Structure 1
Amino acid sequence: MTPQPFDAAQDLADAPRIGGAQRPKDAATLILTRGSDQPEVLMGRRAPGHVFMASKWVFPGGRIDRSDFAAASIADLSADAARRLAAELPARRARALALTAVRETFEETGLILGRPAPSASVAGPWREYRQAGALPDLSVLSYVARAITPPGRTRRFDARFFMAPVEALRDPDRIEGSGELDEIAWLPLDEAQGLDLPAITRFVLGEVAERLRRPDRPLPFVRMVRGRHVVEHRD
């Protein structure tokens, strides 16, 4: 699958401008991959009632939570992921965003990215994950893309996209959606491109296909500068 240029016009149509000034909120997404000859990705369709990107197919993810800064893990980010993130934000926040991706994926799909650990009783959003007897393994995450929602939208996110192989999941066949995604499926990359996708998701799918062949590919950063979309690539 050949990577496509970022579709700026579609991005504006995905979330029309409504005016007003909002600072982007930090968020994280997890792209789970399966297979090598015909790679697949795990995607979900957002429920129709959502204010933002309703009925679109997306990767699991969401906003950072205060609890993500204090959540335990069994292994830290890899040197490469930590280096790439360190160019953008402090190490503590980078780690929290990686944990956000793990937590949100669990909340939306029931899938546990982590290793077995004694069950623990904690308060807040990590309660069910820890009760399941696991700790996140951040070392399996690759940092693959960053995108900031254009100004004036109903929601604005500074989203970091992480990627991990299916082998990092404790029980990859046990998908239990929370309802935020009304359908969840493993999809071949080419088939996924034919779905109703946000422009950024379509763009990142192409990046994923390339990164599976070339892990050291420069990281794309998509944002709007002076009213125009810009895509920078950073080593």
Structure 2
Amino acid sequence: MTTTEIDKTAIRDAATIILYRDGAEGVEVLMGQRGASAAFMPNKFVFPGGAVDAVDATVPFARGPDPLCAARLALESGEGMGAALLAAAIRELWEETGLILGVPGDWAGEAPRGWRGFAATEHLPSAEGLRFVYRAITPPGRPRRFDARFFLAPASRVAGDVDDFSRAEDELSLLQWIPLSRARSFDLPFITEVVLGEVAALTGHDDPPEGVPFVRNDDLVAGIRRLR
């Protein structure tokens, strides 16, 4: 791939959600395996997540994020992108695991395409308790590139049984709660390994991080700094 081709690769906004809970071996995170034929990160174990859809910006929240989370999301992002990212994280969790981050409530009118299954559960999405903990742009040279924001949330925010994946679509297989102490024994993308290190430092308390690490990858050499 030439430099010109690299430069033309579109970067899409994306959201990833890291659910965690206490388990028999310590803190566990929810992960699944991408398919062997996937164009992006085939066979890798990942957190639920994906690209922002246009309709995500129109979705009503029962409860929004805390002010600090909203303010950090707004840094170096387009107007209104914070709400779309939070909605995308909740939608992707629903699609890939069947789990609901929401509270009981009625939608005003028909839910937009992509959200109708979620709305049929009679829940409204809730961003309460989500923490914005990492941001990374896929390096040049990949078949797809994303500007991904990672959100951390305790499993206690999920409505219903956090072990019931029966409503999940087929994008991720082998959905499971993996102890942080064993997560690196799985086939992980490099960025997931990096984010796991950040998560390990945050799951023991509810305080927000001092800043959000941002891996830009604007050039062939990655740069990292913190959004404050």
Select which of 88, 106, 126 maps to 1:100: 88
Q: Is the 8 A contact 2:75 2:227 kept in 1?
A: no
Q: C-alpha distance in 2, partners of 1:114/1:91?
A: 24
Residue correspondences, number: 219
Q: Report how far residue 55 of structure 1 moved.
A: 0.5
Q: C-alpha distance in 1, partners of 2:208/2:172?
A: 31
1:48 match: 36
2:75 match: 87
User: What is the letter of the counterpart of residue 11 of structure 2?
Assistant: P
Query: Which runs of no fewer than 5 residues in structure 2 stay unpaired?
Result: none
Q: C-alpha distance in 2, partners of 1:179/1:225?
A: 32
Q: Report how far residue 173 of structure 1 moved.
A: 2.5
Q: Report how far residue 18 of structure 1 moved.
A: 7.2
Q: C-alpha distance in 2, partners of 1:49/1:18?
A: 24
User: What is the letter of the counterpart of residue 190 of structure 1?
Assistant: S
Q: What percentage of residue pairs aligned between the two structures are identical?
A: 40
Q: Report how far residue 85 of structure 1 moved.
A: 1.0
User: What is the letter of the counterpart of residue 71 of structure 1?
Assistant: V
Select which of 210, 219, 222 maps to 1:229: 222
1:175 match: 165
Q: Is the 8 A contact 1:18 1:154 kept in 2?
A: no
Deviations 1:44-77 (A, max 9, x none): 1001110110000000000000110111110111
2:202 match: 211
1:163 match: 152
TM-score of the aligned structures, taking structure 1 as reference length = 0.87
Q: Residues 25-44 of structure 1 correspond to what in structure 2 (within 5 A)?
A: 25-35=12-22, 38-44=26-32
Query: Which runs of no fewer than 5 residues in structure 1 stay unpaired?
Result: 1-16
Q: Is the 8 A contact 1:85 1:91 kept in 2?
A: no
Q: Report how far residue 23 of structure 1 moved.
A: 2.5
Q: C-alpha distance in 2, partners of 1:182/1:18?
A: 34
Aligned to 1:150, the other structure's residue is in SS state coil
Q: C-alpha distance in 2, partners of 1:213/1:91?
A: 33
Aligned to 1:175, the other structure's residue is in SS state coil
Q: C-alpha distance in 1, partners of 2:20/2:59?
A: 25
2:130 match: 141
User: What is the letter of the counterpart of residue 216 of structure 1?
Assistant: P
